[in-house]
Amino acid sequence: MKACPIWHPASPRSAYFRLSLTAAAGSKNGHLRCACSGAFQLALDGKRLDGGPAGQMTERPVWWTFALSLPGRGGDHELTVLAVADAADEQPWFLCEGQLGTTSRILSGPSWQAMAGPDQSHSYQERHSALEDPRSGDRSQAGYEAWEKAAVVAVDAAPLTCELAVAIEPEVRPLGLTAYGEVKTSGPIQFWRNPAPMERCKWVHPDGLVGKGKARTLVGTSDAERSAYLVLDFGRVVSGRTRLRLRADAAGGVVDLGYALTEGEIQERGRYVCAAGRQEWTAVHPQVCRYLALRLSQIPSSMEVEEVCLVSRRAEGHRPASSAIATGFEGGVWDLGAGSLEAVRQEIYWTQPGAASYDWLRALPLALNDYCHTGDTATARTMLATADIGEVGTDDLSRLLAFPLFARAYYMYSGDRPTVADVLPQIRRILEGASRSRAEDGLMRAGQRGWATTALHALWSGSLEAGAWLCGQLGDVEGEYRWHRERQQVRRALQAAWLEPAYLFADEPNTNGDDASFSQWA
């Protein structure tokens, strides 16, 4: 027998799965490997298992491995999964195989049960209700009567097996409070710099959530129209999944979350609905933020907020970080820099949450930083191996034109000819797609949002140069000549943007000195 991809029969955008297992006495460990078309989260006996990044981390699904720890007494266990489809998934799926102890083999298939997951059709990037979660303590409230037989579904391509670096998930606590008070409950959460003073709400010892604070943080909102509000500052831009640890006297409390990179503007929002009792929730989707705004409402009795943090993800590298910083900056500066570099290394180059497709232009400096400071190329190899370049449209060119540059940098540092040879057809597809968009004057017919014409064509020129160089290294003489010749044509067309008096390239070609702008040099 082998594992089969499964999903809920009604094809909702998210689904829970569960499997009951029996471990023999003396079984103390097990292992799993899982893959999913989107995001997923595992729990054994209600406790979340570390690992398993969300979907869209890689363009093609890969196997993620998990270690299972058992008490050794034997007995029954329950494995539960929350899987969330990516927006582009026509047929979402989840796949799992492994072993529990020495007797129980784990294979996803029709023996699993499925239940529809949290509704994804709302304005929040992630909304979760502990009252509907089958991993919660009260199984009757969690809708256990809604379980049904999982459906076996078809998958176009099998997940990839990659040599992923071992990763750990440390918790990052906020360092300070930016705002504190009470606000209105209605409407989406905002970044309020000066909330109203506490009158109808209470928040005792909010500083207990900061740093190594140990004070008990208690919240209460006697008026349903008013909410307790707090903005936490992590001191730097961090990435990770939100984790809440709460103890509520009653169910139904609402925690609205707002993520901000800068003061005053919320980029993403989330919501968590509390159950009664002590609970811990870790978000499925990661966020990038410096500030985390919290708005707590519908808490007529008290709630203790034990922890609000981000669960970061760090790959344990085999090479120490190093630097070639200028003389005079050693010591304290590099002591901080080395720790920062080690802390942000991941087994994949995750560029941003919620992206429709992978951004190779953002990934390129991450890879270059890795090569320079650690000499590690394994992460870049994983990203190339999981690349899935489909039809090349004009809206995708700015992110895709960096793919040949990413592949060239990888080859120069690794010398890995087979991996680059495997992605050469995708490089050709990108460059041919860009060529089809060129007009008679040698420039692209359509620009890219946020890009000056000159900057986009400079990227195109660099991409053609990288493609020609890789073709030469791999023995494709025809491709080398073609992309080298096309690069010369793009460079000649770019001369229309050169303004001799300013001795600069203008943002747009064929403009005179009075109307020209030079934003790329600002």
Residue 6: band (very low, low, confident or very high) from pLDDT cuts 50, 70, 90: very high
Q: Say what the pLDDT of residue 3 is.
A: 92
List 36's β-bridge partners, or say none: 94
Judge residue 150's burial from the number of C-beta atoms within 10 Å of its C-beta, 0-12 exposed, 13-18 middle, 19 or more buried: buried
Is 90 exceeded by the pLDDT of residue 522? Answer: no
Q: What is the pLDDT of residues 334-358, one digit of tens each?
A: 454 555 555 555 556 765 555 556 7
Is 70 exceeded by the pLDDT of residue 193? Answer: yes
Judge residue 195's burial from the number of C-beta atoms within 10 Å of its C-beta, 0-12 exposed, 13-18 middle, 19 or more buried: buried
CA atoms within 13 A on the CB side of 352: 13
Domains and CATH numbers, the chain: 6-161 (2.60.120.260), 171-312 (2.60.120.260), 319-521 (1.50.10.10)
- What mean pLDDT do residues 356-368 have? 82
Strand, coil or helix: 349:
coil
Predicted TM-score (pTM) of this structure? 0.78
Angle (deg, nearest 10), helices 332-344 and 360-374: 130
Is 90 exceeded by the pLDDT of residue 95? Answer: yes
CA–CA separation, 468 vs 475, rounded Å? 11
Q: Say what the pLDDT of residue 514 is.
A: 61
CA–CA separation, 257 vs 270, rounded Å? 5
Distance between first and last Cα of the chain = 62
- What mean pLDDT do residues 154-163 have? 83
